Amino acid sequence: MDKTILDALKKNNDNALHLLERFVQIESYSHDKEGVDRLGKDIIDVFSDAFPVKTERIMEVEQGDHLRIQLGHGGKKILLLSHLDTVYPKGTLKQMPFWINEGKAMGPGVLDIKQSYVMVYHLFQLLLQHNSHDLNKVKIVWLLTSDEEIGSPTGQHVVLAEAQQSEAVLVLEPATNDGKLKSARKGGGNFSLEVLGISAHAGLNPQDGANAIEELAYQITQIVKLADHSRGTTINTGEIRGGDLFNVVPAYASTKIDVRILEPDEGIRVERAFKNLQVKNQRTQLKIHGSVYRPPLLKTEQTFKLLSLAQKVADDLELKIEDTLVGGGSDGNYAAQTGIPVLDGLGAYGGFAHAPEEYVWVDSIAERSTLVYGILRELLKNSA
C-alpha cells in the first residue's frame, strides 16, 4: 500500500474535524443513558446517510443501548470495537469545550474514544471505494458498547457473542501517548471491604468498643501482601473511609481496592484470598464484595500474526509502529477470551485520557485510519 491514501486523508482533515466536533458535542457519560442513546442515534444518522450500512440498537434498561453497524454482507466477519460512553459527567463540555490548537483537538472523550468514529468513517469510505467486491464475502461489523468505561457490565456479553463468530478483532481504543499498539492488557477487578465494629466513648468505656478503623488498618496490611510483582499482580488501596470524631471508637470503616493481573490463575488466587480474610479483633465483622472480573488480554501467537500484518502495512507507509503491554483494560480483554486474534490500541493517539487536558493529534487520526485500512485489506485478501 502506498502513501497516497494517507496523504489524501490528511488533506481532508477539515471534514474529519467537523465530524469529530459533532460527536464530542454530544456528551455521553457512562451513567447517563439519555446522553449515550442520543449519541448512538446521531452515529446511526451520520453513518446511514453516508453508507449502505445495516444498523441495530441492542437495548438496555439502565445503561445506554449498544450499537452495531454492519458494512458488507459476506459470511465471514471482521469486528471493529469501540464504545459510546466516556468518563465525563454531563455538563463537562462547559469547562472543557471542543477546541483545536496546534495540531491537537481537545474535548471530553476526544481521544477515548470519539476519534475512533472518525476512523471508522474513513475506513468505510475506503472500503467502499476500493474493496466493494470483497464486501460480498466478508462483513465488517463495528460494535460500540455503552458501558466500557465502567467495566462493561452489560457490554461484555455482546462483545463475547460478536467476537466469537469473527475472524479477527481490531480494537480502536487510543494507542499509547507515543503511538504504541496495545498487544497485551492486564485484567483485573475491584473489591470493597467494610468493617463493622462497635461504637463506644473513647474516654469513659473504650473497652466496650471494637475499633473498626484499627481492624481495617490491619486488614489492609494483609491485603497489600497479595501483590506479586514478579507475576504482574498489583494491588492498590484507592479509597478509605471511617470514623466521625476523635473521641468516639468508630463502628464503621471501609476501603476500595483495585486489583490488576497478568495471569488468569492470579485472579483466582486473589479472589480466594479476599474471601478468606479473617478478623483480628473477634468483635468486629468483615463484609467483602467484588471480584476479578476482567480477564487479561495476552500476547498470543495469533496476536503476533496480526502484529506482523500491521508491521507490513506500516513499512509500506513508512511509519514506525511498536507495541506494548498496558495495565488498563478494555473490551479487547473480553474479546480475547474467545481465542480469536485481537489487536488493541489501533486508534489515534494523544494524551491525558480521562483528564481535563485530554487531546488527540489530528494527523494521527488519518495515520491510524490508513494503518487499520491496510490491515483490513490484508485480512480481506486472506479470507475473501
Nearest distance in Å: CB 332, Zn ion: 10
Q: Which of residues 160-179 bind Zn ion (CB under 5 A)?
A: 173
* Member of 32, 37, 85, 112 binding Zn ion (CB under 5 A): 112
DSSP class per residue in 291-355? EEEEPPB---HHHHHHHHHHHHHHHHTT----EEEES---HHHHHHTTTS-EEB--S--EE-TTS
Q: Coil, strand, or helix at residue 245? A: coil
Contact (Cβ atoms closer than 8 angstroms) between residue 362 and residue 13? yes
Instruction: Name the one range near Zn ion by CB under 5 A: 18-26, 110-118, 248-256, 356-364.
Output: 110-118
Binding status of residue 326 toward Zn ion by CB under 5 A: no
Nearest distance in Å: CB 211, Zn ion: 41
22 pairs with which residues across the strands? none
Binding status of residue 346 toward Zn ion by CB under 5 A: no
Contact (Cβ atoms closer than 8 angstroms) between residue 92 and residue 26? no
Residue 43's Cα: distance from chain center in Å? 19
Q: For the purposes of burial, counting CB atoms within 10 Å of the CB of 255, is it exposed (0-12), middle (13-18) or buried (19 or more)?
A: buried
Nearest distance in Å: CB 121, Zn ion: 18
Q: Which of residues 85-104 bind Zn ion (CB under 5 A)?
A: none
Nearest distance in Å: CB 29, Zn ion: 13
Task: Please identify, using beta-carbon distances, which residue of 105 and 253 lies nearer to Zn ion.
Answer: 105
Instruction: Name the one range near Zn ion by CB under 5 A: 16-24, 107-115, 184-192, 275-283.
Output: 107-115
Q: Which of residues 355-384 bind Zn ion (CB under 5 A)?
A: none
CA-derived radius of gyration, the chain: 24
Q: What cell was used for 72? A: 458488507
Task: Please identify, using beta-carbon distances, which residue of 175 and 223 lies nearer to Zn ion.
Answer: 175
Cα–Cα dist 339/204, whole Å: 63
Contact (Cβ atoms closer than 8 angstroms) between residue 254 and residue 193? yes
Task: Please identify, using beta-carbon distances, which residue of 152 and 255 lies nearer to Zn ion.
Answer: 152
Nearest distance in Å: CB 46, Zn ion: 20
Q: What cell was used for 98? A: 471542543
Cα–Cα dist 247/238, whole Å: 26
Q: What cell was used for 110? A: 476526544
Nearest distance in Å: CB 56, Zn ion: 21
Instruction: Name the one range near Zn ion by CB under 5 A: 68-76, 109-117, 235-243, 294-302.
Output: 109-117
Task: Please identify, using beta-carbon distances, which residue of 78 and 175 lies nearer to Zn ion.
Answer: 175
Cα–Cα dist 41/106, whole Å: 23
Instruction: Name the one range near Zn ion by CB under 5 A: 106-114, 230-238, 299-307, 373-381.
Output: 106-114
Nearest distance in Å: CB 83, Zn ion: 6
How many residues line the site for Zn ion (CB under 5 A)? Answer: 3
Nearest distance in Å: CB 348, Zn ion: 12
What character string, x for contact with Zn ion (CB under 5 A) and - otherwise, covers 257-296?
A: ----------------------------------------
| DSSP 8-state secondary structure symbol assigned to residue 65 | P
Cα–Cα dist 366/354, whole Å: 22
Binding status of residue 24 toward Zn ion by CB under 5 A: no
Contact (Cβ atoms closer than 8 angstroms) between residue 143 and residue 79? yes
Nearest distance in Å: CB 147, Zn ion: 11
Instruction: Name the one range near Zn ion by CB under 5 A: 46-54, 112-120, 152-160, 356-364.
Output: 112-120
* Member of 19, 39, 113, 297 binding Zn ion (CB under 5 A): 113
56 pairs with which residues across the strands? 68
Contact residues toward Zn ion (CB under 5 A) are 112-113, 173
